Amino acid sequence: MSVIIITGVTGFLGSNLARSLLSDGHKIIALKRRNSNLHRILDIERDIIFYDVDNLEITKIFTVHGRVNIIIHAATAYGRGEEKALDVVGVNVIFPLKILEAGINFKIDAFINVDSFYSGPANPGLRLPAYSLSKRQFSEWGRSLAEKNGIRFINLRLEHLYGPGDSISKFTAWIVYSCINNINSIELTSGSQKRDFIFIKDAVSAFQVLIGSINKFSMGYAEFQLGTGKSISIRDFVEMVKLYSKSPIRLDFGFIPDHHGEINDSIANNKGLLDLGWKVSYMVESGVREYVDAEILNVKL
């Protein structure tokens, strides 16, 4: 059993990670904001140790609970809407740096950083620029501190995550919501851009494999790309949701001009994870079908 700190535990990825890692027998310490909505983790709330980060002295966690083995940084700020650049840097750089430095001082086994395909070399930085820049900056800080201090820093570059329970502020969730609720029509871009859509259960299982393999890693920086290894067009994904939801919705592709600076094709080189024993259980068809079925059931309930 490991003692694992998770940031972003109330989010889509963080809540699913906490649930699975608890079932594996790990002790979970969650860092959250005082006003965070706990609706995703109500079923496991009593099994998690919470700390509100608003006025938290980070070292308190390590002195109270003894040895912490792993830190997973899954909290993120996208820089959308009213979020200012300073807020994005605070969540994506300053906050995890504080936790990382505390972890170094208390000799953690590893820090796993949830990175994004948006911050990869294929992204020109025109879409979500503050988010992309801040994610790149923190991964470089992680590399520098890991090499200097002899700890394991694992940068996990996540492709386009989707699955039941995600927020409808996310594109895939909004599409599923619109289809199963029989919205008349959706105005879309051409949908020609291609993405490597990774189902939430496969994403979580990758973390489980990494945690089970921690002692195989040398000290220093390591990077993995998390995706199926195949990409499909956004249009194909949307049409698949419509098909499996049996929705009469009208899809107005091309109504909205394509975004300037959009990534044309993003696909993971997942060989590193496959070599560790991870496997892709959900290609897009099976993932979308399970996603749609789960959300339809949720509406009925």
**Segment 164-203, tens digit of pLDDT:** 999 999 999 999 999 999 899 999 999 999 999 999 999 9
Is the pLDDT confidence value at 1 over 90? no
Is the pLDDT confidence value at 222 over 80? yes
Is the pLDDT confidence value at 256 over 80? yes
Task: Quote the pLDDT of residue 131.
Answer: 85
Least Cα distance to 50 among 38, 67, 66 occurs for: 38
- Residue 78 and residue 88: Cα distance in Å, rounded? 7
Question: What domains appear along the chain, each with residue ranges and CATH number?
Answer: 1-158 (3.40.50.720)
129-138, 163-172, 264-273: least confidently modelled range: 129-138
**Segment 202-211, tens digit of pLDDT:** 999 999 999 9
pLDDT band with cut points at 50, 70 and 90 for residue 300: low
The residue type found at 92 is N
- Residue 243 and residue 184: Cα distance in Å, rounded? 15
CB within 8 A of 49, min separation 6: which ones?
A: 27, 28, 29, 30, 65
From first CA to last CA, the distance across the chain in angstroms is: 36
φ, ψ for residue 46, nearest 5 deg: -70, -15
Is the pLDDT confidence value at 125 over 80? no
Average pLDDT score over residue span 103-125: 84
pLDDT band with cut points at 50, 70 and 90 for residue 212: very high
76-80, 172-176, 276-280, 294-298: least confidently modelled range: 76-80
Task: Quote the pLDDT of residue 122.
Answer: 59
Is the pLDDT confidence value at 124 over 70? no
**Segment 49-102, tens digit of pLDDT:** 999 988 888 898 999 988 899 999 999 988 777 778 889 999 999 999 999 999
Mean pLDDT of the chain: 92
Average pLDDT score over residue span 42-55: 92
The residue type found at 213 is S
Task: Quote the pLDDT of residue 129.
Answer: 76
pLDDT band with cut points at 50, 70 and 90 for residue 301: low
51 - beta bridge partners? 31
* 140 or 79, which is more confident: 140
pLDDT band with cut points at 50, 70 and 90 for residue 35: confident
Strands 232-233 and 194-195: antiparallel
Task: Quote the pLDDT of residue 271.
Answer: 97
How far, in whole angstroms, is CA 41 from its chain's centroid? 16
For residue 274 the two structure tokens come to 């496959």
Cβ–Cβ under 8 Å, residues 69 and 210: no
Average pLDDT score over residue span 28-47: 93
Strands 232-233 and 160-162: unpaired
